Amino acid sequence: DLRSSVFVFPQESPSAHVQVTAKLEQPLSNFTVCLRSYTDLTRPYSLFSYATKTHSNEILLFKSKPGEYKFFVGDKFLLFRVPQNLESEHVCASWESATGIVGFWLNGKPWPRKGLQKGYTVGVPAYILLGQDQDSFGGSFDAHQSFVGEISSVYMWDMGISTSGVIDAMYDSPDQTPIFGWRNFPYKIVGEVYLKP
């Protein structure tokens, strides 16, 4: 149970990351990803990267600059513009294949919904990691897109969740059972990343 812990990424790195070792058996036609991050970076960086053999950006949560998130599904992306402020940011993004509708929440507040990749299916097997952007399956990182700072409260579900579910996840008490989550998080640290209270 990592509830009172965070992963600290202390410096820019061409390799350091946290691998999520959960094994996904089935392709995804719906999913939600949530996490909390805290950083003073102003350059682009990757938070959550889910790559398959065919798509390096099968799912990617990427902050391209202060005030702008990019959310990828199947190598295509949407932009979400957010206020700039130096505080920890809790972000959730959900996607459903049937409509292509993407939900996005910042600190529990929903943004206007948009559409992306209607009818698509997110593939398996996947290499899932925090703190780097994969340009190939499990590798091809760019230090200039690496995360520096703190990441915690990481969750992924194989369904959409409501705003109340997002708020529950913010406080590490999700009402829906995730594929993986912060209270039973399967991980392997690669390189210089530290788990700290």
Is the pLDDT at 85 greater than 90? The verdict is no
Give how many domains the chain has, as a whole number.
Answer: 1
99: left (phi over 0), alpha (psi -120 to 50) or beta: alpha
Query: What is the rounded distance in angstroms from the CA atom of residue 39 to the CA atom of residue 45?
Result: 10
Q: CATH no. for residue 29?
A: 2.60.120.200
Specify whether the CB–CB gap between 96 and 16 falls below 8 A. Answer: no
Query: What is the rounded distance in angstroms from the CA atom of residue 37 to the CA atom of residue 47?
Result: 8
Mean pLDDT of 54-65: 97
Report the candidate in 170, 137, 172 with the shortest Cα–Cα distance to residue 52.
137
Q: What is the pLDDT of residue 86?
A: 86
Q: Evaluate whether residue 186 is within a structural domain.
A: yes
Specify whether the CB–CB gap between 129 and 19 falls below 8 A. Answer: yes
DSSP bridge pairs for 190: 17
Q: Tens of pLDDT along 2-25?
A: 999 999 999 999 999 999 999 999
Q: What is the pLDDT of residue 155?
A: 98
- What integer best gives the mean pLDDT of the chain? 97
Q: Evaluate whether residue 60 is within a structural domain.
A: yes
Q: Could you list the residue range(s) of the whole structural domain that residue 54 is in?
A: 6-196
What's the sign of the alpha-carbon dihedral 77, 10, 7, 167?
Answer: negative
Q: Evaluate whether residue 89 is within a structural domain.
A: yes
Query: What is the rounded distance in angstroms from the CA atom of residue 29 to the CA atom of residue 175?
Result: 21
Q: What is the pLDDT of residue 175?
A: 85
Q: Evaluate whether residue 1 is within a structural domain.
A: no
Q: Evaluate whether residue 142 is within a structural domain.
A: yes
Confidence of residue 193 (pLDDT cuts 50, 70, 90): very high
Q: What is the pLDDT of residue 10?
A: 98
Query: Whole-model pTM?
Result: 0.97
